[in-house]
Structure 1
Amino acid sequence: MKNQLFLIIAIFTCINLYSQNTFVFFGSFNRDKTTEGIYVYKLDTVKGKLSKITSVKGILNPSFLTLSPNGRNLFVCTESKTKNAGSVSSFAFDPKDGKLTFINSQKSGGENPVYVTVHKNGKWLVNANYTEGSFSVYPLSEDGTIHPYVQNFQFSEGSINKDRQDRSHVHASVFSPNYDQVFFTDLGADKIRVYQFESDKSEPLQPAKQPYIKTTLGSGPRHFTFHPNGKFAYSIEEMGGFINAYRYEHSTLESIQRISTHTDQYKDFESSDIHISPDGRFLYASNRGEENNIAIFSIQEDGTLKNVGYQPTFGKQLRVFDIDESGKFLIVTNAATGNVFVFKRNPETGLLKKVGKKIKFPGASSVKIRRY
């Protein structure tokens, strides 16, 4: 009887495992609404192979995307790098057939939206607009409909590099681990801006006691992430080529380290994206320019970083990458060469190995992985 029970449990476990699908969503710079802009693939979680499920036309430059907490909606920055334009768009996603259905779009509140994120309660959307240095907050309906923004903050001050920092350029909007704050990296002003987020208010963004953190002049902070333990945070500099490590305590950031993302042999570089493995042991940072690789760091107990290697990305202009929730795979998007590669992670060393086959489509710019 006991053996039969174990057999039944094993069978149901196997059925559950094989019934799960891992989908990969890609955004791109398609430059033309008549061409494909968003792509949905299925990931073989044994071999790392990507298989195309569907794609979407009719939208322009869907350059960055994210998913709702329940995975039923895809939210996208649209009309990016489009003069006098900019929007955020919503799609419904059905994991049964992999179909994406357009819901609606709203103006982004500034030119060139580059980042979008969703509150854990699924009721709020926050975006970042690069060119005009602003960010907006939108209410969301349960079905994923985006309503007009209720708050829009504009900034004008720049920094010391007059070519790149003539004014504010907000590049990311990231919720704190408890979703009670939002951090905005401002590449143009060399600041990380901080706001309290009170989700029960009609205008949830409120000034924080620590309104911003200054970064090194001319460094250009780009993306930002928190450690899974909620005690540390990390910002990558696009122009400086460094990672800033912070201790996060009592809703404030305290700098604990600034470490280079690139090797000394390269002088032309643009660091871009940053992610931490789900187990919290390794941090990954991407370098563009001449280098085109991912820098790999082990995370020490005190939150500081130690470099353990570099992985070429086999393409140019890596804009965004993502790690699946199991921590087994890392997927990169090379915008200039229009290709995508899957890497398998070694959980002990943090090192990467290319698997599967190259996927090609023009302007590959963003990727999000989700298991259903």
Structure 2
Amino acid sequence: MAFLKTLLLGTLGLAPEVLAANLLASHYTGKIFSLSFTGRGSNATLVNKSSVSGCGRLPAWLHVDSRVVYCVDEDWFGSGVLASYSVASDGSLKQTGSASTAGASVHGTPYGGENGKGFFATVEYDPSTLTRYKLPLSSASTVMAQSKFNMSAPGPNARQNAPHPHAAQLDPTGRFLIVPDLGADLIRIFRIDAKTGGLTACEPGVAGAGDGPRHGAWWGSPDLGRTAGRMLYTVNELGNSVSAWKVAYTDEGCLSLNRTQTLSTYAAGSAPPNGSKAAEVRVAGNFLYAANRADETFGPQNDSLATYSIDARSGAIQFVEATPAHAWFPRTFSINKAGDLVAVGGQTSSNVAIIARDPKTGKLGDLVANLKIATPGTPQQEDGLSAVVWVE
């Protein structure tokens, strides 16, 4: 199909580089920005087309599901928002619903129902909760259920004074929800009742002491079937590391995780700089990527992205290299479907950087576009740009 599209464009006298792609970037000033990326190489441009509000004071996370976008508000003052938007062909957003929340939500995902969009789960970092809502969202929406997490004793890191769930993510089958808990050093696992939205706890995966797991990304060799050979990779914020987990689906109806590796987000022999914090993890093909915040490996205000290869037979990972993030405090990054572009969201620098990627080798290449968004953030503070995602 890509070849036919290129051939058609050539026949019409148009270069393939004129094709545009849309992105969304949320900012802690309360807005979501619709961006348009066009071209390749020296001809690439990234522009801000429009913006919307409606996701509270501190929109912290964006989840794109086809042409629907969900936004989670991290408002700390007890009056948060969970919002939904439709995406037009030009990438602009129109709000379709919203619900009032107690705030402090840092991540969320739709789940369950007949099509995986019957309910929505959010996690609240300081309140140590997992909250569920019924979809679609409206002013009449209320909390459907909420789980409060506890731990018997503090962890080894000063930030592990309580459970701190940092993400709610589906497994590839859509039958399980995982919640990386930075405070408790656990990957909490829940079996989903698709009809009711109910969650049943399974035995959690146990991270290394002081790891502080934050987010996860899934991988599976297509030669090994839908569930066999499945792996989960987590980025560990406090440990500045990534972990590999072997996934199994048990006879008891649960998903189980067995941690097989933990590697630094820095090359062997290199220690994480003081104040650095690993942030995000993504998988593309047989490659794994992680973002390091506040390491300034590549100069002032230029942090790093770590690349790992994934063994196609075992799922084992190996550190390959570190490359420039072209951003300061890269809280999130997103790889497009073609696998040839990476959008990096610098929280403190408040920019979106587009980096070339070779889908075959997994290598990250040159900066091809860069755009400042709203106002810069303050180092180590909750302001600036919060998330960036491709809309495809």
TM-score tier (shorter): 0.7 to 0.9
Summarize the alignment of residues 20-39 of structure 1 with structure 2, pairs less than 5 Å apart: 21-30=20-29, 37-39=31-33
Give the Cα separation in 1 of the matches to 2:213 and 2:5.
53
Give the Cα separation in 1 of the matches to 2:5 and 2:349.
49
Q: Does 1:286 align with 2:307?
A: no
Give the Cα separation in 1 of the matches to 2:85 and 2:11.
31
CA deviation vs aligned residue, 1:271-313 (integer Å, no higher than 9, x gap):
1100001xx2110001112242110001012111111111121
Corresponding residue of 1:114: 106
Corresponding residue of 2:216: 224
Give the Cα separation in 1 of the matches to 2:5 and 2:238.
57
CA deviation vs aligned residue, 1:100-128 (integer Å, no higher than 9, x gap):
1223322345x421111123532222111
Q: Does 1:348 align with 2:360?
A: yes
Q: Does 1:267 align with 2:261?
A: no
Corresponding residue of 1:332: 344
How big is the shift at 1:166? 1.2
Residues 1:153 and 1:14: Cα distance change in structure 2 (over 3 Å):
farther
Alignment coverage as a number of residue pairs = 347
Summarize the alignment of residues 189-338 of structure 1 with structure 2, pairs less than 5 Å apart: 189-201=184-196, 203-208=197-202, 210=203, 212-229=204-221, 231-250=230-249, 251-263=255-267, 264-268=270-274, 269-277=276-284, 280-291=285-296, 292-301=303-312, 302-338=314-350
CA deviation vs aligned residue, 1:124-183 (integer Å, no higher than 9, x gap):
221111111111122213xx6583231211113263246311111110111011000000
Summarize the alignment of residues 166-185 of structure 1 with structure 2, pairs less than 5 Å apart: 166-185=161-180
Q: State the superposition RMSD in angstroms.
A: 2.6
How big is the shift at 1:22? 2.3
Residues 1:19 and 1:198: Cα distance change in structure 2 (over 3 Å):
farther
Give the Cα separation in 1 of the matches to 2:290 and 2:7.
39
CA deviation vs aligned residue, 1:187-242 (integer Å, no higher than 9, x gap):
011111000012112x421222x2x1111111111011111545111111100111
Corresponding residue of 1:46: 40
Residues 1:304 and 1:159: Cα distance change in structure 2 (over 3 Å):
farther
Letter in 2 for 1:189: A
Residues 1:217 and 1:354: Cα distance change in structure 2 (over 3 Å):
same
Give the Cα separation in 2 of the matches to 1:49 and 1:315.
17
Letter in 1 for 2:293: R
Contact kept? 1:316, 1:334, Cα under 8 Å: yes
Contact kept? 1:175, 1:183, Cα under 8 Å: yes
Corresponding residue of 2:389: 368
Corresponding residue of 1:61: 58
How big is the shift at 1:76? 0.5
How big is the shift at 1:12? 9.6
- Picking from 105, 125, 133, the partner of 2:98 is 105
CA deviation vs aligned residue, 1:326-360 (integer Å, no higher than 9, x gap):
11110111111111210010123212123333211
Give the Cα separation in 2 of the matches to 1:8 and 1:112.
45
Letter in 1 for 2:326: F
Contact kept? 1:112, 1:130, Cα under 8 Å: yes
SS of alignment partner, residue 172 of structure 1: coil
Residues 1:8 and 1:168: Cα distance change in structure 2 (over 3 Å):
closer
Unaligned runs of at least 5 residues, structure 1: 1-6
Give the Cα separation in 1 of the matches to 2:17 and 2:263.
42
Give the Cα separation in 1 of the matches to 2:86 and 2:342.
25
86-95 or 168-177, which moves further after superposition? 86-95
Residues 1:159 and 1:357: Cα distance change in structure 2 (over 3 Å):
same
Give the Cα separation in 2 of the matches to 1:155 and 1:173.
14
Letter in 2 for 1:98: G
Contact kept? 2:70, 2:83, Cα under 8 Å: yes
SS of alignment partner, residue 158 of structure 2: coil
How big is the shift at 1:13? 11
Give the Cα separation in 2 of the matches to 1:204 and 1:310.
41
Give the Cα separation in 1 of the matches to 2:157 and 2:235.
20
Contact kept? 2:78, 2:101, Cα under 8 Å: no
**What TM-score comes out, normalization by structure 2 length?**
0.81
Give the Cα separation in 2 of the matches to 1:118 and 1:173.
9
